[in-house]
Structure formats: structure tokens, C-alpha cells
């Protein structure tokens, strides 16, 4: 995960220093870095844990939403902080260290925004959610399985 974070920071800093100005190509480059970072986090999660198809699909959805939400939230908070930052002008036109620190913090926030929901899902699954438990289906109803787990007698299912 550290490697993914360092690569994301390096990509954002290189894009900010040598990339296109404020036009459509700049936004497309940012989106490309965002998508590649989220895919890297999802690939790391898939290699570190074995998942069923249902969980893998939910992981893709959660990681993508988390990365995009973190990116948008950080960009909005940067706009709110901009008047209080020690800059000589707007953040886009300055070349000081504050600009590059904000860009690096954006990359870290994006990686963490993509990874933390996956971590929360893993903790939720380990500490007991009925949704993530993969039990074999042997034809019994879920009510009978719950009764057997509690030690009581299974109920008879009435057929109509």
C-alpha cells in the first residue's frame, strides 16, 4: 500500500509540474491518475485477500466511490483553505512549496479514501455481518439454520 501511495504522490507531482495547464487535458490527466490509483488499491486488496464474486463486486464499487468522494472532498476543502494559505496569488498560478504540499496531500487523501472503505468492510466482515458470511446452501430455510445454530429444534415449514 505504501508503494501505491508513493506512486500516486509522484504521479500527481509530475502532472502538476510538467503536465498541461488548466484545460481539458489537465482534467483528463487527473482523472486517469485517479482511476489508475483506485485500480491499484483494488488490485492490492484482491491479491491480499481471497473473495467471492459478490464481495469482489462490492469491493470494486466501494473503492471507486471512496476514491472519487475523497478526491472531490479534498478539492472542495482546498478551495475553502486557499485564502488562509501563505500564497502570493491563486493556488493554480503559484509555484511555491505550499502548492506541491497540497498536491501531495491530495494524492494521499485519494489513496486513503479508496483504501479505508475496503478496510472497514474487512473489519465488518471479520466481526460478524450476516451479509458477508458465506455458508453452504443445503436446501434448508434460513430460519432452520438459525434455529440449529441456537440449539433449538427446527421448525417445520408449511407447504400451501
Residue with cell 487527473: 30
Q: What is the pTM of this model?
A: 0.67
* The C-alpha cell that represents 79 in the structure block: 478551495
Q: Within the chain, where are the H helices?
A: 2-18, 24-48, 53-81, 97-126, 142-150
Q: What is the pLDDT of residue 140?
A: 47
pLDDT, tens digit, for every residue of 54-110?
Answer: 777 888 888 889 988 998 898 888 888 877 877 666 666 677 788 788 888 888 998
* The C-alpha cell that represents 100 in the structure block: 506541491
CA dihedral 16, 69, 3, 42 (to 10 degrees): -130
Q: Which of 99, 26, 33, 16 is nearest to 67 (CA)?
A: 33
Q: Does pLDDT of 133 surpass 80?
A: no
Q: Does pLDDT of 158 surpass 60?
A: no
CA distance readout (Å), 81 to 2, 85, 92, 105: 27, 6, 14, 13
Alpha-carbon dihedral sign for residues 44, 45, 48, 53: negative
Q: Where are the domains of the chain?
A: 2-129
**Residue 22 phi, psi dihedral angles, 5° rounding:** -90, 80
Residues 6+ apart with CB under 8 A from 96: 86, 87, 88
pLDDT, tens digit, for every residue of 9-36?
Answer: 999 888 888 877 667 787 888 888 888 9
Using left for φ > 0, alpha for ψ between -120 and 50, and beta otherwise, residue 137 falls in beta
Amino acid at each position: 500500500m505504501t508503494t501505491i501511495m508513493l506512486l500516486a504522490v509522484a504521479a500527481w507531482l509530475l502532472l502538476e509540474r510538467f503536465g498541461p495547464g488548466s484545460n481539458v487535458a489537465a482534467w483528463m490527466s487527473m482523472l486517469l491518475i485517479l482511476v489508475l490509483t483506485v485500480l491499484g488499491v483494488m488490485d492490492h486488496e484482491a491479491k491480499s485477500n481471497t473473495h467471492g464474486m459478490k464481495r469482489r463486486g462490492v469491493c470494486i464499487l466501494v473503492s471507486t466511490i471512496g476514491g472519487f468522494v475523497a478526491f472531490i472532498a479534498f478539492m472542495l476543502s482546498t478551495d475553502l483553505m486557499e485564502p488562509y494559505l501563505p500564497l502570493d496569488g491563486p493556488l493554480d498560478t503559484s509555484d511555491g512549496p505550499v502548492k506541491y504540499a497540497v498536491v501531495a496531500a491530495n494524492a494521499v487523501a485519494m489513496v486513503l479514501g479508496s483504501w479505508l472503505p475496503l478496510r472497514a468492510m474487512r473489519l465488518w466482515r471479520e466481526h460478524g455481518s450476516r451479509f458477508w458470511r458465506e455458508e453452504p446452501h443445503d436446501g434448508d430455510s434460513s430460519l432452520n439454520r438459525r434455529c440449529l445454530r441456537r440449539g433449538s429444534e427446527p421448525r417445520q415449514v408449511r407447504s400451501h
